[in-house]
Structure formats: structure tokens, C-alpha cells
Amino acid sequence: MTATLPITCVYEGRLDGASRSGAALNWARANGFKGQYGKLLAVPGEEGQLEGYFFGMGTADDRQPLVLGLAAAALDPGQYRLEGDFGDPTLAALAFSLGAYRFDRYKARADAPVLELPREADGAQVTRLAAATTLARDLINTPANDLGPDQFEARVRTFASDRKMSISVITGDALLKKNFPMIHAVGRASAEPPRLIDLSWGEASDPKLTLVGKGVTFDTGGLNIKPSSGMALMKKDMGGAANVLGLAHAIIDAKLKVRLRVLLPIVENAISGSSFRPGDVLPSRKGLTVEIGNTDAEGRLILADALALADEEDPDLVIDMATLTGAARIALGPDLPPLYARDQGLGEKIVAAGLAVDDPVWSLPLWKGYEKMLASKIADVNHITSAPFAGSITAALFLNKFLKPETNWVHLDIFGWAPEARPGRPFGGTDQGIRAVFEVLREKYGAIG
């Protein structure tokens, strides 16, 4: 039977108080270990065997909730348990689980380390959020040749079946008949037709919560084709849909008291003779006409039709997630997605929750003064601005036009990618906003039981 090795967590400057043998403490001192942030030190036993580890939590004044993810990323396969001062046991266990994530579909990797659940940790919450994260990351990391619109739909059907969700799908030219003209226009150039997937779960009498996720399985930029450097990561352009599915899993697993609806417009923005063009004017489900300024700003078009559908049943809350703009990354970088909320109080709660669980988002305004940048001389609205300013805000303002003014709506402009490994977030496709939003939804809607 494999021994469970202890990981003794130590805040910087508190090594003397660690509950380890004098020999282990002397070994730590001799190796310069003081509890430095993220430092992992192997501790030998009397006969030279591996006895366990010290792990540095950093300074007590700068607590990083997911720091234990660094330990999981560095450890060999095996069984481990936490000792010492590791803070909140649920968050510590989740951090370890998130850091142990491996994407091994195409490349054999060693087994991940496994953590024994700490006492008083909420095991159900750890499992729930780890599964939500893994779902989102696996989808984003899968390349487009294995996750085009057809394969994505198959994955969503399995997701729905496993959770006893109802599902309907509108595909190809049926989108025109059902009045989703912008979803159709964006995806019609692909060999795999565009589609809108509509999932639901829960009691009809409960508050209506609707999630909308951008699902562009690959984005060439269309006729405004991206340069190779900009196209390299475009398998991740369905990151909004992936994160929405992860959030939906957490909601269902926790049995929140909602009637959940999930809308996923799934397309490939390809190039062919049927590609939509710059200068085209498209009708929309909302009834607004939309002038196309650039075919590489396709995500907001498919979201607009889906948001209009979401709005038609007067939901209690609509939340969308989308890998929408490069401007968001210029403004806030890859780690900090902007959040736009009509209800400022709700937005502040999501920001606060994100900081508490190390899933940060940051609030930006739906600044009405920038609406004039979306003006069109021949249509109701242009879907982008020609000015080099406030690109994330103007994208949010465009989407804002497709919901009634009274609808409670939150928009997250996520990146969905970790360009370098961080605590609890290995390199590659990543979750953003799932845990921050889920914490607020759990408080808002409670659970059935």
C-alpha cells in the first residue's frame, strides 16, 4: 500500500512553529526554506527515504487562495495529505485539485497527485468545482479538428443526457426559418453548419436563470482574415460556451433553486464563397439591422441573437460569457476579465466573490457616452467602432441593445487561456468566472435540498 506523504504548509517566518521533528526543521533551515511563496522542499527520513514535504504559503499578509495549486503542479504522482497552516480547508483542497489538472488526450502524462480531503473540507464543493473546471479546460484545450460544431454538439448532448437536461438544436438553414439570421450568417461558410443549442433544467416555477456562451469553435477572422499570430489560439474562441457549461454543471450539481436555461450559439467562422462580408447589413432576431464593420468581430453577432431569445421569456437573470475582445486583454491583461453588470450591486458581489476564491474579475462600465461610436449611416447600428478606443466597452454596449432595459444582465469578456502557469491554473485553456459567479448564484438562489 502506498504511503500518504504529508505536506506541511508554512507561512513565511513561521517555520519554528511547524509541527515537524527537529531533524526536519533543521533540514529546512539548512536548505534555506523559510516558507517562501510556492517553494516546495522534499524532506528525507532517517534512512534517506522521502518522508514528506514543506511547502511555502508566502506572507500571512498576502494570502493567495490557490497557492497550493503550485504544489500539485510540482509533485510526483502519489497520495498526499495537508498539515500545518493551509487556511480554509475547502479552498486548499480545491487549489490542489485545480493545480493537478492535466490535459492528456494527445500526449501520455504521468498520473496526477491525489490529495486526501482535509478535515472539515466540503468534499462535495471541491468535487463540484473541480469537475466544472476540468470540463471547461478540456473543451478549450481540444483543437478544432476534434471539436468543430458537429463534435461540440455531440459533447453537449452527452452533457445534457448525463444531467437529465432537455435539449433542442436548430441547425443550418433552419436558423433562418426560426429567425436567428446573425448566427446563420456567421457560420454559413463552414463545412459544418451553424447551430443554436438550447438546454434547460429545473422546475418551471423557479426563478429563470439563463446562461449564454459564445461557441466559435475556430475563428479565422472570416474575410477580414487574422494574421497567423492572431489565429494560432483560435481553438479557444469557444471558451465562453465551455465556461458556461462548467458553470451549468456546478449549478445543477448543487441543485440551486432555479429554472436553468443554457443557450449556446455554435459556429465556425470560416472562409468560403458564402462568407458574410464587411459592409453587409444583417437582420437580427431583435429586429435591429446591423452593419458589419469587420468579420473578425463575429462573436457579438451570434451572442446578440441568443441574448434576444433569452430575453423573450423575461428571465430573472441573464449571464453571458464570451472570449469577445482583444481590447479586454489590452485593458486588464489575460488574468483579469472585465465584467459588465446592469445591476451594480450584483456586479460588486461577483467581483468580491472572485477575489475571495482567486477567480478574479473586474467591473467596467456600460458607458452610454460611447454608444455614438456604434452609429451606422445605413443601418440601426454598426457592430464595431472604427475608433481605437474602449473596444471591450463598445462590444458590451452593442450586446446591451439586444435585451430589454429592465432585464438583469451580466456580461463577462473572458480570455479563457493561461499563457503561463499560475497557482491553480496550468498553461493552456482555463476557466474564468465560473467560481466567482457560482458563489454569488449560490447565495442568491440557495438550494433545493
Annotated catalytic residues are 226, 300
Buried b (16+ CB within 10 A) or exposed e, 410-428: bbbbbbbbbeeebbbbbeb
- Report yes or no: 69 and 63 within 8 Å, Cβ to Cβ: no
The conformation of residue 26, written as its DSSP 8-state character, comes to H
- 318 CB-near residues (< 8 Å, 6+ apart): 210, 211, 212, 307, 310, 311, 403, 407, 408, 409, 410
Q: Determine contact, residues 138/235, Cβ cutoff 8 Å.
A: no
Residue 370: count of CB within 10 angstroms of its CB: 18
Whole-Å CA distances, 360 to 86, 326, 355, 435: 21, 18, 5, 9
Task: Quote the strand ranges of 275-403, DSSP E.
Answer: 281-282, 290-291, 317-322, 338-341, 362-363, 381-382
Residue 216 in contact with residue 300, Cβ under 8 Å? no
The residue among 140, 421, 392, 176 whose CA lies nearest residue 305 is: 176
Q: How far apart are CA 10 and CA 83, in angstroms?
A: 9
Residue in this structure with the C-alpha cell 533543521, named with its chain if needed: 26
What is the DSSP pairing of strand 114-115 with strand 79-84?
parallel
8 A C-beta contact, residue 126 and residue 115: no
* Residues 255, 449 contacting (CB under 8 angstroms): yes
